[in-house]
Amino acid sequence: MAEERQVVVETVQLSKLFRDFWMRPKVKALDRVEFQVFRGEIFGLLGPNGSGKSTLLKILLGLLFPTQGRAAVFGRDPRNLAIKDRIGFMPEESYLYRYLNAEETLDFYGRLFNLPSAERRHRVELLLEMVGLTHQRKRPIVEYSKGMARRIGLAQALINDPDLIFLDEPTTGLDPTGTREIKDLILELRRRGKTVLLCSHLLADVEDVCDRVAILYGGRLRRLGSVDELLSLRAKTQITTDRLNAATIEQVVSRIHELEGPGMEVSVQTPRDRLENFFLHVVEEARAARLETSGVTVGAKPSAFFSGIEREQKADEILQELLKTTAEKAAEPKVISDTEEQPVVVVPLAPEPKADEQMISGLLKESIPSDAARTAGAGGERAAAEQQQVVLPVSGGSGDDSKTTQDVLKDLLNTRKPGSDEENTEESRTRKTEQ
Amino acid sequence: MDFSGAVYQVWTIARQSVVQAFRMKVAVVLVVFMLIMVPSLPFLLQSDNTHEGLLRMVITYSVMLITFLLGVLTLFLSAITLNTEIKNQHVFLLDPKPLARGTLLLGKWCGVMLINLILLTIMLGATYGFMRYLGRQTKGESQEGYDLVQWDLLTAREVAQPPLPPLEDWVQKEVKDIVANGEVPEGKSIQWVEKMVRQRLSKAAWIVPAGGVAKWTVSGIPKYKGALLIRFRHYADGQLSDPVLPGKFTINAGGQPYSTFEGEFSVGKPHSVGVPSDVVKPDGTVEITYENKYAPRDANQPPAVRAEFPFEDGIQVLYPAASFGENLIRAGAVIFMRLAFIAIVGLWASTFLSFPVAVLLSLVVFMIGYAADFILTGLVGQLVLFGPTMVPPWAPVNPVDNVIRTVLNYFFLMFPNFSQFDVVPNLSDGMIVSLGSILSCFLWLIVVRGGVLALTGWLIFRRRELAATTAAT
């Protein structure tokens, strides 16, 4: 599969040695690093401070040159001007001109791409709206908070509608709302065929959005793979249902012990919502009450100029269109991993949404359910008190998506016998059914 | 990247630099300083109590001030503009854009020059206005003073001189005689003899004995209405108790109309006398006749004193070739090119040095440029490290010293000599800044020296790892 995909970024035996003034070796920042980033994926670079990820990023941006090995972006040397038209870069720090305001900043970078004046103005408008800085457009950047500066940094990275976007710590300094918006935007960029390479210390962010990650330590590549491959707890099975009464739980547990043996470890607990979701809920309430703020407004609406979108469409219309499309997609179960390990089945429930859910759904309407379900956050949440999780070491999968949870559980408890084919889960497919 | 795209990027970077300079108040402070300084000059400077002297002072010091201040500003701006981009890591956002490093450098240079153009225009404009204002003030006091200021200062005159004698023929003849007579000093070559003879004859002069008459014909003067200025300077070969020499000048003697003036003219100083331009003949020539009217007044004076008019500037006819305003623009062009070169030096230094070191290096080049004449003639030309020190100038130079002098001469060729492109004497003398000197400035300062620096700076910068200083930390 990977071999058929277009390679956007590639490093081959990439090494970087920093020398001192007398050309004596000082630091070996990268040591024979090899990886590929494919078109349309979100690739995460992880590593502690000094692991070499910034150096790697700078080599890929042409700001540093390799000592040995090769780095290629779109198949060419990173210093090649021809590829730079297709690249966007959001740095970790704000390297923007402090005396320019947001509008001038975006206009300046747009000019460097030789964008025609009308097109540039149009993009500036959309990007300012997207990052929620329309009302702060005339303020000099020096007066911006760190979060606002990061937002404008992101906007400048997207001014040229790049095919490949480098994001260095994209959510650092942002409030949870901003973090969510950025993550949603990253996912949206991928949906439109963009490739994203991001460096982050915030592992939760990487886990939420990345398809594949590379972990660097001491300049060497330690792990490389998909997030699912790397993070799956293959020795565990988790079932999430609506709230069950104590008798049912007891029955389920005893049935599991009956089928899987008395030594099977089963824990039943009420899942917690994520603090991020809770916070966003509170903020949305405040917004609904029309409290004033001097900070950013709601942003993260993807700008209409991104490729793959009809330019005449208004952002809202595009957004509705996007939501319609993704909602249709979400109605079907989605295979997200082809691993030949033991399956994990998350069985969805389909209750009527409660008032809180509607609010959260409204707030997160720009999120993409398929991804949100994976992140257990964006749009697919249940009120925590209404859910219970059953976590057991081994379970089988069910392919009938039209059934309710109770049906599935019933099937699970009644039909699966020890030693059946499905128990030998070598060939089972991991499934995640989404709402 | 297509050419128009690159030009647009250069403009974008340049525009950005201008915005930076003005928003950071650097340029504004300088303009305010100049606008205060120029009108204050008449009160700060001591002139010879004449309006002409005052105006000469004002134009001299204001142009010197403008040239120096803008030079220093350019030096700092050019050294800081690229270094700031690197130090503040703005280049981390610029370099990943489709912006060639050469384009960035060119844009930065254009930005600095755009700032210079704006400031120079404002400052020279203010100087022009102030000079005009002071010039008008003289009219209220005396028409003669006003005319003198207008003819001698607030104008741009071209110089016409009588044809020089065939100096080179004289040199060759004299050298031939020395060789034929076996008078070549021991250990010296014929080239050395030739050089010495040429040096001596360059200081030669037209000599008019007491009671004698000399006649010069100056050609190439256009027909125009107004005053023609006859400028002369002479020396006396005898010991005069009073250093003045009586004489009489007649312009267009024997023709109609003609002009004459007579008097006792101090020796060694330049004199300017205005005559109507009607004396110019239809063929564009003017005949100047001088009669040495020296006669001893008493027994203490020498019986006969010769008047010596140096070939260099003994006799000159000055005619208006352009207005004062136009001359100021020409002077501005030369100043602008000097600034352009300084900007190249500053940017060149910042392609591989940090700000303080780049400024220091640029400052060294700047100071050498200002002191090039002194360095070459006063220091390098007199350098004695190995030979005896107290020897006459014609004594042979120690061979090692000779080699060192030659090497240093070639070394300092790399540096500009700003005195060659100094417009202050022209402006304070009311002399036109010729197109030839502007072209020469462009060729030697910008194309040759600037070109070499720009090329090496570009080669260094395009190979520079812009994140190298921070990546390893």
DSSP B72-112: HHHHHHHHHHHHHHHHTTTHHHHTTSS--HHHHHHHHHHHH
Query: pLDDT value at position B432?
Result: 93
pLDDT band at residue B38 using 50, 70 and 90 as cut-offs: confident
Whole-prediction pTM value? 0.75
The alpha carbon of residue B123 is apart from the nearest alpha carbon of chain A, in Å, by 26
The alpha carbon of residue A95 is apart from the nearest alpha carbon of chain B, in Å, by 5
- Best probe of the A interface among B23, B24, B88, B92, by most A CBs < 10 A, is B92
The alpha carbon of residue B116 is apart from the nearest alpha carbon of chain A, in Å, by 21
Token pair of B386, please? 């190995």
What does the angle CA A410 – CA A414 – CA A415 come to, to the nearest 5 degrees?
110
Report the alpha-carbon distance of residue A239 to residue A346 in Å, rounded: 5
What is the CB neighbour count within 10 angstroms for residue B170? 14
B466 and A113 within 8 Å at the Cβ level: the answer is: no
The alpha carbon of residue B40 is apart from the nearest alpha carbon of chain A, in Å, by 34
Token pair of B264, please? 């006792």
How deeply is A339 buried, as exposed, middle or buried, from its count of CB atoms within 10 A (0-12, 13-18, 19+)?
middle
Give B12's contacts in chain A (Cβ within 8 Å).
Answer: 108, 111-112
What is the CB neighbour count within 10 angstroms for residue A189? 23
Q: Does B88 touch chain A (CB under 8 A)?
A: yes
Tell me the pLDDT tens digit for each residue of B281-290.
888 999 999 9
Of B324 and A267, which is predicted with more confidence? Answer: B324
If we measure between CA atoms, which residue out of A204, A231, A262, A248 comes closest to residue A392? A262
Tell me the pLDDT tens digit for each residue of B177-236.
988 988 888 777 788 888 888 888 877 888 899 899 999 999 988 888 778 889 899 998
Give B84's contacts in chain A (Cβ within 8 Å).
Answer: none
Burial annotation B12-48 (CB, 10 A radius, 16+ → b, else e)? bbbbbbbbbbeeeebbeebbeebeebbbebeeeeeee
If we measure between CA atoms, which residue out of A396, A384, A326, A382 comes closest to residue A351? A382
Report the alpha-carbon distance of residue A269 to residue A257 in Å, rounded: 17
Residue B451 has pLDDT above 90, yes or no: yes
pLDDT band at residue B21 using 50, 70 and 90 as cut-offs: confident
Low-confidence ranges of chain A (pLDDT < 50): 1-3, 300, 309-385, 393-435
Query: pLDDT value at position B443?
Result: 95
Give A87's contacts in chain B (Cβ within 8 Å).
Answer: 96
Query: pLDDT value at position A297?
Result: 57
What is the CB neighbour count within 10 angstroms for residue B411? 10
Report the alpha-carbon distance of residue A158 to residue A178 in Å, rounded: 17
Average pLDDT for B259-284: 88
Strand-pair category, B227-232 with A334-337: unpaired
Strand-pair category, A267-269 with B213-218: unpaired
pLDDT band at residue B472 using 50, 70 and 90 as cut-offs: very low
List the single residue in B with minimal CA-CA distance to A26: B472
Of B8, B88, B468, the CB nearest to A64: B468
The answer to whether B316 and B231 have CB atoms below 8 angstroms apart is yes
Give B9's contacts in chain A (Cβ within 8 Å).
Answer: 111-112, 114
Give B16's contacts in chain A (Cβ within 8 Å).
Answer: 97, 108
- Best probe of the B interface among A77, A101, A114, A169, by most B CBs < 10 A, is A114
List the single residue in A with minimal CA-CA distance to B463: A65
pLDDT band at residue B453 using 50, 70 and 90 as cut-offs: very high
The answer to whether B267 and B256 have CB atoms below 8 angstroms apart is no
Local structure of B20: helix, strand or coil: helix
Residue whose structure tokens are 């004289």? B170
Local structure of B381: helix, strand or coil: coil
Give A84's contacts in chain B (Cβ within 8 Å).
Answer: 96-99
Report the alpha-carbon distance of residue A371 to residue A379 in Å, rounded: 9
List the single residue in A with minimal CA-CA distance to B467: A63
Token pair of A226, please? 């998909």
CA quadruple A400, A401, A402, A405: dihedral sign:
positive
Report the alpha-carbon distance of residue A432 to residue A410 in Å, rounded: 18
CA quadruple A319, A321, A327, A333: dihedral sign:
negative
> Measured in whole angstroms, how far is the alpha carbon of residue A159 from the centre of its chain?
21
B93 and A91 within 8 Å at the Cβ level: the answer is: yes
If we measure between CA atoms, which residue out of A135, A412, A423 comes closest to residue A299? A135
Token pair of A180, please? 């969510």
Single-letter amino acid code for the residue at B329: I
List the single residue in A with minimal CA-CA distance to B468: A64
How many A/B residue pairs have CB atoms within 8 Å?
87
Report the alpha-carbon distance of residue B214 to residue A20 in Å, rounded: 76
A63 and B95 within 8 Å at the Cβ level: the answer is: yes
Q: Does A109 touch chain B (CB under 8 A)?
A: yes
B19 and A156 within 8 Å at the Cβ level: the answer is: no
What is the CB neighbour count within 10 angstroms for residue B115? 27
User: Average model confidence (pLDDT) for chain B?
Assistant: 87
Whether omega before B96 lies within 30 degrees of 0, making that bond cis, reads no
pLDDT band at residue B301 using 50, 70 and 90 as cut-offs: confident
Q: Tell me the CA distances in angstroms from B79 to B362, B445, B459, one per residue in order.
A: 8, 19, 17
Token pair of A59, please? 């080599």
Give B467's contacts in chain A (Cβ within 8 Å).
Answer: 58, 63-64
Report the alpha-carbon distance of residue B121 to residue B299 in Å, rounded: 61
The alpha carbon of residue B468 is apart from the nearest alpha carbon of chain A, in Å, by 7
B92 and A95 within 8 Å at the Cβ level: the answer is: yes
Tell me the pLDDT tens digit for each residue of B359-414.
999 999 999 998 888 888 778 877 787 777 666 666 667 788 888 888 888 888 88
Of B5, B24, B468, the CB nearest to A114: B5
Tell me the pLDDT tens digit for each residue of B407-440.
888 888 888 888 889 999 999 988 999 999 999 9
Query: pLDDT value at position B28?
Result: 79
Query: pLDDT value at position B392?
Result: 63
If we measure between CA atoms, which residue out of B242, B27, B11, B19 comes closest to residue B109? B11
List the single residue in B with minimal CA-CA distance to A106: B93
Q: Which of A377-386, B85-94, B159-168 shows the lowest per-residue confidence on average (mean pLDDT)?
A: A377-386
State residue A364 phi and psi, 5-degree precision.
Answer: -100, 30
Query: pLDDT value at position A51?
Result: 87
The alpha carbon of residue B342 is apart from the nearest alpha carbon of chain A, in Å, by 26
Report the alpha-carbon distance of residue A174 to residue A202 in Å, rounded: 12
List the single residue in A with minimal CA-CA distance to B21: A99
Query: pLDDT value at position A387?
Result: 55
A63 and B12 within 8 Å at the Cβ level: the answer is: no
Residues 136-165, chain A, touching B (beta carbon < 8 A): 156
DSSP B425-445: HHHHHTB---HHHHHHHIIII
Give B3's contacts in chain A (Cβ within 8 Å).
Answer: none
Query: pLDDT value at position A307?
Result: 60
Of B5, B96, B465, the CB nearest to A89: B96
Strand-pair category, A195-199 with A42-46: parallel
Residue B272 has pLDDT above 90, yes or no: no
> Measured in whole angstroms, how far is the alpha carbon of residue A124 from the centre of its chain?
25
Of B24, B96, B472, the CB nearest to A84: B96
State residue B262 phi and psi, 5-degree precision.
Answer: -135, 150
Side by side, the strands of the sheet bearing B235-236 are B205-208, B307-310, B235-236
Tell me the pLDDT tens digit for each residue of B43-77.
777 767 777 888 888 899 899 999 998 999 999 99
